[in-house]
Structure 1
């Protein structure tokens, strides 16, 4: 709801499924725009940047993508909050994907951001986890947000 208010009502947050424990450890959300809303490129860039800066973990995803499901499951298994922006459920999904390509150098999904930084796709994210580097990035963000 804070994102919806922060964007002046431009974003409509649809909650497909939400779980929260006492400390809010697991949180899944899909983010979609009303079907009648078309965004200028600047507005779309601003919205993407806002989503990334407002959340410790953001996964730009598609609902039918195996690798996207793999990335989401990784964070669920670690009991870490994430925000999933489902591009195939978003009127501006193709535009977002074009912008993400410019930002990250790749158009494929998932595009995973942790603590405001692009960490890669599912395989890159899995590798960071196996190397013991992913959870510290998440914790840095959580500590920063609490202070």
Structure 2
């Protein structure tokens, strides 16, 4: 859990992902298209990926990826991020976290 918290706080937007996950790809694309450059941790390419994945599951991520943190806070997985994007609240979170500028 400490490793997840440390990694999640190192940049305004952090995404825990797997390189073969289509939903992870869609979420990363969403952030890039918003003009955000997130830190991305590909768990299937990390030697501690399984450990991080278990920690994400304990946080409530099911499935474990994509897991999105904004401003060091766990936002949720693909469904939550897409819902926030569609209702307009994602942009405010990104601005408040310093990931986007007006």
**TM-score of the two chains, using structure 2 as the length reference:** 0.88
Q: Which one of 20, 24, 27 corresponds to residue 71 of structure 1?
A: 27
Q: How does 1:88-127 map to 2 (within 5 A)?
A: 88-127=44-83
CA deviation map 1:6-42 (0-9, x unaligned): xxxxxxxxxxxxxxxxxxxxxxxxxxxxxxxxxxxxx
- Tell which deviates more after alignment, 125-134 or 107-116: 107-116
8 Å Cα contact 1:104/1:118 also seen in 2:
no
Rounded Cα–Cα distance in structure 2 between residues aligned with 1:82 and 1:118: 14
Matched with 2:6 is: 50
Rounded Cα–Cα distance in structure 2 between residues aligned with 1:113 and 1:59: 6
Rounded Cα–Cα distance in structure 1 between residues aligned with 2:2 and 2:64: 21
Structure 1 segments of 4+ aligned residues over 3 angstroms from their partners: none
Larger RCO, structures 1/2 (Cα 8 Å, 6+ apart): 2
Q: Which one of 59, 62, 66 corresponds to residue 15 of structure 2?
A: 59
8 Å Cα contact 1:113/1:120 also seen in 2:
yes
Shift of 1:107: 4.2
Matched with 1:133 is: 89
SS in 2 for 1:119: strand
Larger gyration radius, structure 1 or structure 2: 1
Equivalenced residues, count: 99
8 Å Cα contact 2:15/2:68 also seen in 1:
yes
Cα RMSD over matched residues? 1.5
